[in-house]
Structure 1
């Protein structure tokens, strides 16, 4: 009944917006429509007559000086700006070491396309302050509400996966297992602005499904407005893949082979008239390598020491198919279907001493994840600039299986097998509608409503352990943006979310909960002298536990250190305040911020002693530990000693302190930090060389500490085939095969130490080739940003590479 009422409300809003639009509404009626056009140009050096690749071009409306479009030139200096409405514009062209040039451009309804031809720009010691191009290509873009890491510009990513890319994104910290945090807080990860059922099960595993060659950029949003779902105490990460809508046919092929893993990626886009089709396919295969694992559990009566290995392999593939059609200049319909499958696992064995009595555990683990996401999006615009209405639907179906086979061998006693299987399902149905109304030239109102219906099930070998969980979320928001003065901009909003949870565990244990939350947000930015910007923001966020945290399935792949989820977890709620400053000084970029975050009901892994078969064991599960307070700062800088040499660095620091209200205990205050440095140099004739290094400090939890992590890499790349292709060599941690990480957790009566040697060293070669031209456009997509995702690698029991 609740779902029916919510659907009725959404449809009501849909028709109300229809009625409120000017005549001509949704494609019919009397209003005359105009199909948008494109502007093309070629940018050359005025002296050498050579093309300027990666020059930044902004299209500015001549009437109000607002930027309406933009892009960068390709390797031939060519630029195409799509979806340009008929009007008068200024084309602003800038590149490091060159004078900024302005060109007047006009398009009309009768001639919407304008080929300007060749534009020459001359060198200068001054640099356009707004241009964020460093060296041979812009790797970092600093925007008012987000920082963008252009992964395709970083040659050291070749041959890796999305986890490797994340480790080099400013402000993010990623440990060896794939745990992703943004300034010490949990994050919501989106793919092309959309959630994925696989992400809802395990972020770390889902990231390893995506070859690095498929990633165009990563957006880090630290202060999301009320328009976004309230998920993510630290913020939102949006991964943009290499797919687009383009005129004609374009695509790319990438292949990498190495000692650690192999990747392949294919992207194809075709557009004829108003119809565009895009498709992609990616695959990866990681070789099986031994990871040594040492564990020591000590309780008052039992000392268990384990020394063994796991030999895991990993394989996966993903693909997508999308259609996009413009009925006219004001009505667009698009649909996209994505699928992926990923599996990992393998054999392992461990020598065990229980109070000095020798035993052996022989194991074989297999875990698989698969997911399908289908989206349908309709968007309507009008002659009124900036007005937009959209309605979107999404179906997401995810499956994950965990199968393991253990044999506990006790000398002179016998073998004791343990075979178990678990199937988890995560189905989501989403519908949303959004409306953007420009009230005046300087004031814009954004509103919308959304419904998410989730069903999570976990079916085990033991019928009594089945888990069925329903979570329905209804939300509405309003955001108002306006110019307070010529230099001060304000965007404030409020989001309301109602969550209804029902379920059953073990056939008889009912789960029932519902709660209503308000999530305010405000951001104030001021433009200062010298092209600097100062901003302050506040927002409230939530983290709902996902299947990984909730699934009560007992994973006994390590019989003496089992693990399970907790179906009774409450959501986290956090309040965030941030003060940020950014500036451009002669081409150099500096971005700094300080922040404070208070999180209630913070969710962490938790160990406790259990006794099974007359043996004390250490169980790992999850609990709402208490309230966490975090202070921190982040500084990013980029500098070009020479036009083709880029140096960049990022340093982030945040405190960790949790107070447990039940025991009135404090974890104490600790400092976490992460460092990233990169140097890229273009030697000319298509040669580029890059070095990078990452340092993540020890990480604290309420019960324990994990070692620091340091890794580094390099790549060299040569452009071939008239700059349409490249071939390169890359390496990661070449001087150390293993990365040794220790984790120690303690309670009043229990001590647990895990010492793992991850095989990280790798060498690889890669090849890429692009054909046609990729011209990007953006479409409004569904974003389910409301579920706390797994920040752990693999289903709580194995070691992965």
Structure 2
């Protein structure tokens, strides 16, 4: 009943908003609906019959000679003007060295589209004076709540992909696999302000599929407004793509092969009139390589007894995956659009392993096998309505997501006491169904004041089925949310954007021992950003916001993962969400092509979720149990500085350095970790030799990472790539290398735990095979168009950092 009432509230808000805010705006009555169309033409040289690219075209009203639209032709001389209301116009065509030409155009409601066919213009020695040409944008811009990198203004992006673009964006760091971080934290990636279907399975793989030429700009939002779902300490990256009106068929093919991993992807878009269809298919395969794990567990039980277990072994895991999608997008007219996308993903990892054990002085050997599979399907339907008033938009979105994660493992422990071996095995299937309804409305009162309102409902059903049905775990979580955001200018240089998001969360779950339990709570999430423009292209910003992160299925699932039978892993359904308050002060400037961006921030997080190790005794053998708990409250101070410099036009140097403190305390338990410092460093040097040749070096340093029980050592990796544009810049070939001078990345983690049952000292050394050499090829055909997928993505839950990794028993290649 509560789910029905919550959904009714969302839908009621939806229809009320639509009734109160018609296309005409507030209190002004609805505007008369007008179907708009498009005007197309091809501009050629009258003598050579060759296309005129970058010819400037202006559409003026025949009655008052006021300009209503405009654009430039592409490399084939083609032009398309969208959203043209039925009327009489003059099309003014001009280009340097050519005579300006005027062509009469009349469209009607019955025939809103008009194809002018081929238009010839003749050369002249006179300079074009009556057509305005706009100047070049700055590479870096600062806005009220975000920093903008204008990729279209950076000529060095030609021939690359979105990963290459991300490496040039302030405050971002990208590793060799294309994983993006913002100030050391995880990020949410949007396409044109919406979660994109291409990002559903793998952000790093999706970025490699987007040509750099299709990216207009990249927005970095470190302090998202109340409009966005709360998502932790990272932030948001919003990729704005160029508007393309190409008809016909276009696509791309990408392939890479190496000593560590192979990838392939195919994308195809077919567009005719107002209908666009797109499909994609991709796959990846990682070679099975030995990952060595050396583990020591020393436990001291309060009840008496001391146990020592040491392990030296390997896991030889492979990883493969595939994904596919099918989508359609249809414009009823210039104001109404509907789209739908279905996307499937399947990933699998696991494999055999073996380890030698010393258990309290007695030798033993364990033979293991592990398999984890992830299957997921997302189906989205989206409707969007705009009006003649620029910036006004109303949208409704719905999403169905289903996921299945079957997991199985087996162990055979051979010892002098049991020479035939003792076998243990278990299976678990996790099921996650998610239903989402969302509506948003944006109304600009003026160019200086804009209001945004919306509502959202999320209904999650999580089930975990064990070998023994009596241990099944059911978890239901329903979230209802509503928000309001207003932005306005106090002065020409002082801008403000503030908002409030309200969320009600309803939770009920059952466990084997506790029966059905409930946990309902209500939260308010305010946000505000104040921006002051200074002289010399400099900007000051001050922001505050609150966010929440709810534990995901892997944190909650009480399934006992005994893939390493001496170090058991288990979720905790009693977890509470994290709540964070964030305060940031930033400064940005742009001086003669050089960029400096600096910020300091403070974050207070209550209910911090971390993994926790404790001793347990089973069958007379001491083991460790790794689970998750709400540790306490964290106080974090930090700063970030980014700089970019061009010693020469074709040479770019870039670096980002971030530092933050780690401190957790809990007054109830008396916990106080003290204060530690974490940092990360990214450096890059890129040089273009001309004729399509590009060379790049980069390195990443992540400092030791602290937790309340221990620390993980620093991680360093580096690489280089060389790329050449081919096939008239429609394709590229390249070679790359990662950590060439060391096969393994050695990572050590040490934990010390004192609990009510005893104490644990655990030392784990993982030797991860990271070195790789590879070649890659990409090719684009047709005129590429990246179709926006207005998918919902619920990213308000805290994700497990060890998913698919098998915990202490091994690592994933």
Shared fold (TM-score, shorter chain, > 0.5): yes
Counterpart of 1:502 in structure 2 is 508
Structure 1 residues 112 and 537: alpha-carbon distance in aligned structure 2, compared to 1, 3 A threshold: farther
Equivalence for 1:771: 781
Written as runs of structure 1 = structure 2, the 5 A alignment for 1:426-437 is 426-437=432-443
Is this contact kept in 2: 1:215–1:239, CA < 8 A?
Answer: no
Q: Does 1:392 align with 2:392?
A: no
Q: CA deviation at 1:508?
A: 4.9
3-state DSSP of counterpart to 1:747: strand
Q: CA deviation at 1:39?
A: 10
Matched residues in 2 for 1:208 and 1:651: separation?
22
Q: Deviations over 1:323-382 (max 9, x none)?
A: 111101111111111111000111111100112211111111111111111111101111
- Name which one, 1 or 2, has greater alpha-carbon Rg: 2
Q: Give yes or no for contact 2:594–2:645 (8 Å, CA) kept in 1.
A: yes
| 2:197–2:343 contact (8 Å) kept in structure 1 | no
Question: Is the 1:402–1:795 contact (alpha carbons within 8 Å) kept by the matching residues of 2?
Answer: no
Alignment pair present for 1:332 and 2:332: no
Task: Give 1:775 shift.
Answer: 3.9
* 149 and 411 in structure 1: CA distance in 2 versus 1, 3 angstrom threshold: farther
Question: Once the two structures are superposed, what CA deviation does each residue of 1:579-619 show, in whole Å capped at 9, x if it has no partner?
Answer: 12222211222222111110000111111111111111111
The answer to whether the 8 Å contact 1:711/1:732 transfers is: yes
Q: Choose which of 655, 658, 663 in structure 1 pairs with 2:661.
A: 655
- 2:678 corresponds in structure 1 to 672
Whether 1:256 and 2:256 are equivalent positions in the alignment is yes
* Partner SS, residue 459 of structure 2: strand
Q: CA deviation at 1:681?
A: 1.1
- Equivalent position to 1:491, from 487, 490, 497: 497
**In the aligned structure 2, how far is the partner of 1:637 from the partner of 1:70?**
37
Displacement of 1:191 in angstroms is 7.7
Relative to structure 1, the CA distance from residue 634 to residue 41 in structure 2 (aligned partners, 3 Å threshold; closer, same or farther) is: farther
Matched with 2:552 is 546
Cα distance per residue 1:138-191 (max 9 Å; x no partner): xx9999525669799889999xx99x9999976467999999864455655668
Q: Distance in 2 between matches of 1:654 and 1:129?
A: 37
CA distance, structure 2, for counterparts of residue 302 and residue 60 of structure 1: 83
What is the CA distance between 1:769 and its match in structure 2? 0.5
Aligned residues: 754
Q: Find the residue that maps to 1:562 and give its secondary structure.
A: strand
Deviates more, 1:146-155 or 1:423-432: 146-155
Given that 1:197 and 1:396 are in contact with CA atoms closer than 8 Å, whether structure 2 keeps it comes out as no
Deviation at 1:11, TM superposition (A): 2.8
Q: 2:362 aligns with which of 334, 341, 357?
A: 357
Q: For the residues of structure 1 that align with 2:643 and 2:105, how far apart are their CA atoms?
A: 42
What does residue 221 of structure 2 align with? Answer: 221
Contact map agreement 1:246 1:270 (CA 8 A) in 2: no
Q: Secondary structure at the match of 2:5?
A: helix
SS at match of 2:9: helix
Matched, 1:402 2:402: no
The equivalent of 2:458 in structure 1 is 452
* Separation of aligned partners in 1, 2:253 and 2:616: 52
Decide which of 129, 138, 154 is 1:131's aligned counterpart. Answer: 138
Q: Is the 8 A contact 1:198 1:371 kept in 2?
A: no
Q: Give yes or no for the alignment of 1:694 onto 2:700.
A: yes
What TM-score do the two structures reach when normalised by structure 2?
0.83
- The offset of 1:60, in angstroms, is 15
| Alpha-carbon distance between aligned partners in 2 of 1:284 and 1:683, rounded to the nearest angstrom | 32
**Do residues 625 (structure 1) and 635 (structure 2) align?**
no
Query: Residues 676 and 173 (structure 1 numbering): CA distance in 2 closer, same or farther, change over 3 Å?
Result: closer
Q: Give SS of 1:5's match.
A: helix
- Equivalent of 1:525, from 516, 521, 531? 531
- Mark the CA change 1:452 to 1:379 in structure 2 (over 3 Å): closer, same or farther: same
How far the C-alpha of 1:527 sits from its partner, in A, is: 2.0
Structure 2: gaps spanning 5 or more residues: 45-50, 62-67, 93-99, 108-112, 129-133, 301-305
Q: 1:195 to 1:325 in 2, by over 3 A?
A: closer
Q: Secondary structure at the match of 1:739?
A: strand
Aligned-pair CA distance for 1:787: 1.3
Question: Match of 1:558, SS?
Answer: coil
Whether the aligned pair in 2 keeps the contact of 1:156 and 1:691 (CA below 8 Å) is no
Equivalents in 2 of 1:240, 1:530: separation in Å? 26
The offset of 1:240, in angstroms, is 8.7
TM superposition shift of 1:212: 3.5
Shift in Å, 1:13? 3.0
Contact 2:80 2:245 in 1 (8 A): no
Contact (CA 8 Å) 1:317, 1:342: kept in 2 or not? yes
Match of residue 768, structure 2, among 758, 767, 789: 758
Instruction: Give the Cα–Cα distance (whole angstroms) in 2 for the partners of residues 116 and 304 of structure 1.
Output: 84
What residue is the counterpart of 1:714 in the other structure?
720
Matches within 5 A, 1:435-446: 435-446=441-452
Q: Distance in 1 between matches of 2:177 and 2:507?
A: 31
Kept after mapping to 2: 8 A contact 1:793/1:800: no
Change over 3 Å in CA distance of 1:276–1:483 after alignment to 2: same
Cα pair distance change 1:747/1:182, threshold 3 Å: farther
Cα separation, 2, equivalents of 1:120 and 1:592: 45
Instruction: Label 1:683 to 1:165 Cα distance change in 2 as closer, same or farther (>3 A).
Output: closer
Correspondence 1:78-477 to 2 at 5 A = 83=82, 110=107, 130-132=137-139, 144-146=145-147, 171=171, 182-183=182-183, 188=188, 212-213=208-209, 220-236=220-236, 246-300=246-300, 301-414=306-419, 415-477=421-483
Cα offset for 1:383? 1.4
TM-score under structure 1 normalisation? 0.84
Shift of 1:309: 0.6
Change (3 A) 1:322 1:146: farther
User: How far, CA to CA, are the matches of 1:461 and 1:790 in structure 2?
Assistant: 23
Using the alignment, how far apart are the partners of 1:120 and 1:745 within structure 2? 74
Q: State yes or no: 1:35 paired with 2:37.
A: yes
C-alpha distance after superposition, 1:25-63 (max 9, x if no partner): 9xx994323236689999xxxxxx9999xxxx9x9999x
TM-superposition CA deviations, 1:216-269 (whole Å, max 9, x none): 688643111001112324334568999988533211101101000000011111
1:226 partner SS: coil
Contact persistence 1:197–1:398 (CA under 8 A): no
**Residues 120, 553 of structure 1: alpha-carbon distance in 2 compared, 3 angstrom cutoff:** farther
- Please give the alpha-carbon distance, in whole angstroms, between the structure 1 residues aligned to 2:537 and 2:18: 41
Q: Where do 5+ consecutive residues of structure 1 fail to align?
A: 43-48, 63-67, 92-102, 122-126, 134-139
SS in 1 for 2:445: strand
Deviations 1:57-79 (A, max 9, x none): 9x9999xxxxx9999999x6999
Alpha-carbon RMSD across the aligned residues, in angstroms, is 4.3
Contact kept, 8 Å, 1:156 with 1:690, in 2: the verdict is: no
Over 3 Å counting, the alpha-carbon distance change for 1:783 and 1:681 in structure 2 is same
